[in-house]
Amino acid sequence: QSALTQPPSASGSPGQSVTISCTGSSSDIGSYNYVSWYQRQPGEVPKLMIYEVTKRPSGVPDRFSGSKSGNTASLTVSGLRGEDEADYYCYSYTGSNIWVFGGGTKLTVL
Amino acid sequence: EVQLVQSGGGLVQPGGSLRLSCAASGFTFSNSWMTWVRQAPGKGLEWVANIKQDGSEKNYVDSVKGRFTISRDNTKNSLYLQMNSLRAEDTAIYYCARGWYAAFDVWGQGTMVTVSS
């Protein structure tokens, strides 16, 4: 039940795009399309941004997009805004009814 | 309004027990998988346990197996986490969350559990 691997930090200037990776293995991300992404603003509960790798819940801006290639999932934030500054966590099914989060990435808008 | 309201938590000595509760409203509780997630100070999110709609299936992260028990009462629209043999490393904010398409779309407000002598 090892955590998925995310870079500790990422950054970009307003208007730019930034991509956050989430690396797992052939047993989790590589085997299932059950990857979701969460935004965590300071002092708030996590907010679902992407589910089932690429789908956006109602109300999430289309600036947020998800993808997957092999054992790595990615969250891309386009047209960066100041309010996007937050911690982002990936989450995936690992099989045998066990789930795991990534370690989290702190996104800074320069 | 769809919401999850948590109660319980607090300060407990190592080896002690605590029970967390999560009251659901605004949706059909009995239709949803439910999950507990925690975040230790300075750490990331950690999946702790989940429970199927009718309570017939329960799953746990290895570090809490045999010590924590997840349960639910669909007649009371409530989710529970009984935590026994608590350790310092269990210190965290605990969240309940509603399962939705293999993700979590609704979260409780969180409750702090501190294990310390």
Contacts of B53 in chain A (CB under 8 A): none
Q: Are B94 and B20 in contact (CB under 8 A)?
A: yes
C-alpha gyration radius of chain A = 13
Q: Write the DSSP symbol of residue B64.
A: G
The verdict on B59 touching A (C-beta cutoff 8 Å) is: yes
CA of B105: which chain A residue's CA is closest?
Answer: A48
Q: Are A67 and A76 in contact (CB under 8 A)?
A: yes
Rounded average pLDDT over A46-56: 97
Across the interface, whether the CB atoms of A102 and B44 are under 8 A apart is answered yes
Query: What percentage of chain B carries pLDDT values higher than 90?
Result: 97
Q: What is the pLDDT of residue A49?
A: 98
| Smallest Cα distance from B53 to chain A, Å | 14
Contacts of A45 in chain B (CB under 8 A): 95, 107-110
pLDDT in tens, A63-102: 999 999 999 999 999 999 999 999 999 999 998 888 999 9
The verdict on B94 touching A (C-beta cutoff 8 Å) is: no
Q: Which residues pair with A87 in a beta bridge?
A: A40, A106
